[in-house]
Amino acid sequence: MSKEIHPRLLRMSGLVKYCSLSRAYIYLKIKEGSFPPGKKLSIGVTAFEKSEVDTWLNQQMGGE
């Protein structure tokens, strides 16, 4: 039996695929303060907490 791994953190490339949004749109929403800004892990590496992204997506779809 194989267990599926669900990532807790998403890098930008994974975030774009997960949300089906463009990088430019995500950065615009971060700049506006309406999208979770992510956490700097190291120089040039930012990761986004999947649970925060899920909450944002739910809000955009009229939930929560």
4 within some domain: no
Using alpha carbons, select from 32, 27, 63 the residue that is nearest to residue 48.
27
The pTM score is: 0.81
Average the pLDDT over 37-44 and give the result.
93
1 within some domain: no
Confidence of residue 47 (pLDDT cuts 50, 70, 90): very high
Separation CA 6–CA 20 (nearest Å): 18
Separation CA 10–CA 50 (nearest Å): 6
Confidence of residue 2 (pLDDT cuts 50, 70, 90): low
Tokens of 18: 């997960």
Give percent of the chain above pLDDT 70: 88
Residue numbers of the domain that contains 18: 9-60
25 within some domain: yes
DSSP letter at 5 equals P
Domain count, the chain: 1
From residue 17, give the alpha-carbon distance in Å to each of 23, 24, 39: 10, 13, 19
27 within some domain: yes
- Asked if pLDDT for residue 7 goes beyond 90, the answer is no
Task: Compute the mean pLDDT over every residue in the chain, rounded to the nearest whole number.
Answer: 91
